[in-house]
A and B are shown apart, each in its own frame.
Chain A
């Protein structure tokens, strides 16, 4: 685990996870991706949102895992869920049926309009530089949830002007293009990174820097973004992690590492 020198005591991945978790309200129905979204959503459940409803694409509704799942279909998710449904049911009735408040996604790349790539790196589909796992459930979540949040580390490989492959729709080409495309819901309303938080401009829908983690500068955020990053008129300062937030997150990761024999921290 590497600790940033500018914020002794916690890592950029920890503040990113903690800030994402703070945004999740009690009672929200959240469709959770594996990895960072799952860590943030479960931290919220342990901290301030005991009645948040976590749904995983393996069909577990109201999952309450004691340790973080290593994969989307871990038995832990089913064991303590309110109910377990089949994969067709989770997508037809629950996602396409419009029952998801927040679709919480990760990706390999995000662009200036919040479109996501989880398919290939490189622009030749037939001969990709890197073949990624693919779409999974993300296209349906991105086009049917009432809103989506994206959690992703911010650097020049991940924050790109245009995604190499548009797997899951964000605000498409900006303005009202998403609405016109037939996608439902508000699309990406927040991108939470290890540097801060970006939100779409209300009219152009271009992602705009709205908040920074402690010790991070606007210049650092600009330098880690592959387009000319717009800055909100007032950039909020995100509060540092509380001792309780840090201890709870670390306990969760330690329990998970013990259970799976593998670390789930992402840095």
Chain B
């Protein structure tokens, strides 16, 4: 058996191509920041970025010119405020124009579930009365054949590549996720190719019976990247770096300061471990 365990730079080089649709999922917890940085370092372009809650790492990817389209349901820096690079791209087309497709959380979750289930669409009631369907052609309606109720219908999401971050993997590449598990399982199973970065690789996962385990054969690559979710957190390993999240508000506000910071800390470091040292995080 060929192992799926490899370095993050190899995984991104092999599996992430220009023009693809890409989901880096995590729900405040376990956001795959290191993978986003590697995509920025390798200068991927024209990506359709999908995520329920785009935050700092998507702000960085958008600001560095990786994105052409964004599919999302809530975009902000949680607990701090707006995403300035995200806003600058939408409002002013800097560094390039980025189009958006906007949904609600339940809809995004349903779209991934449909994708993971091999079904073409998802149904929900939540857009009743809302203006969102007027601005998103992917939100259509369907009549229930049993009750006659008119419901919203949205297409399945099947990303070309999904990347998640998790606590640990074993040496076969089975991955354990716990705590707030968000939409990661569905995003992995919906993807054509899935990559997981993990805090550590261990001999035995010691997973409780009902834990969320992604079997190694659902993942094309598993990469050991300690603190790969920073400034997000990994339950059981480290807490959210709220100070960095607040600092991001200052770094990202002006284009020049942002570019300078990205060049100095992300582009000029070869990997995440060096980035953490360089940026004064570890």
Contacts and interface: CB of A to CB of B under 8 A. Distances in A.
Interface stretch (A17-25, A126-134, A205-213, A225-233): A126-134
B239 A71 contact: no
What interface size band does chain A fall in? 35 or more
Nearest to A84: B180
Interface string A71-98: 1111101100000101110011001100
A183 B126 CA distance: 8
Interface in B114-151: 124-132, 135, 149-150
Nearest to B152: A139
Best-surrounded residue of B125, B130, B186 (most CB of chain A within 10 A): B130
Contacts of A58: 27-29, 180, 182
Interface in B174-222: 179-183, 185-186, 212
Contacts of B29: 58, 73, 75, 78
A127 B100 CA distance: 12
A140 B104 contact: yes
Given A73-B28, A87-B182, A139 B132 contact: yes
B182 A59 contact: yes
A252 B258 CA distance: 35
Interface string B89-124: 011000000000011111001101100000000001
A262 interface: yes
B7 interface: no
Given A73-B27, A78-B179, A261-B243, A139 B74 contact: no
A60 B180 contact: yes
A136 B109 contact: no
B27 A87 contact: yes
A137 interface: yes
Contacts of A119: 102, 131-132
A102 interface: no
Contact of B90 (A71, A131, A143): A131
Contacts of B128: 143, 169, 181-183
Interface string A60-71: 100000000111
A137 B105 contact: yes
A59 B130 contact: no
Interface stretch (A8-16, A146-154, A160-168): A160-168
Given A74-B28, A96-B126, A140-B105, A128 B91 contact: yes
A70 B129 contact: no
B74 A135 contact: yes
Given A59-B181, A86-B183, A135 B79 contact: no
B266 interface: no
A87 B105 contact: yes
Interface in A87-118: 87-88, 91-92, 95-96, 115
Interface size class of B (residues with CB under 8 A): 35 or more
Contacts of A172: 129
A88 B110 contact: yes
A170 B131 CA distance: 13
Nearest to B150: A182
A184 interface: yes
Contacts of A131: 82, 86-87, 90-91
B233 interface: yes
A178 interface: yes
A198 interface: no
Contacts of A169: 128-130
A75 B181 CA distance: 11
A261 to B, nearest CB: 6
B104 A138 contact: yes
B73 interface: yes
Given A57-B105, A75-B240, A127-B91, A262 B246 contact: yes
Interface of A: 34, 57-60, 69-75, 77-78, 84, 86-88, 91-92, 95-96, 115, 119, 125, 127-128, 131, 133-140, 143-144, 165-170, 172, 178, 181-184, 260-262
Interface of B: 27-29, 52-53, 72-76, 78-79, 82, 86-87, 90-91, 102-106, 109-110, 112-113, 124-132, 135, 149-150, 179-183, 185-186, 212, 233, 235, 239-240, 242-243, 246
9 contacts: A72-B78, A88-B110, A91-B105, A131-B87, A137-B104, A139-B132, A140-B105, A140-B126, A144-B126
Given A73-B182, A84-B181, A134-B74, 12 more contacts: A73-B180, A88-B113, A91-B110, A96-B126, A133-B82, A134-B76, A134-B102, A137-B104, A139-B132, A140-B105, A140-B126, A183-B129
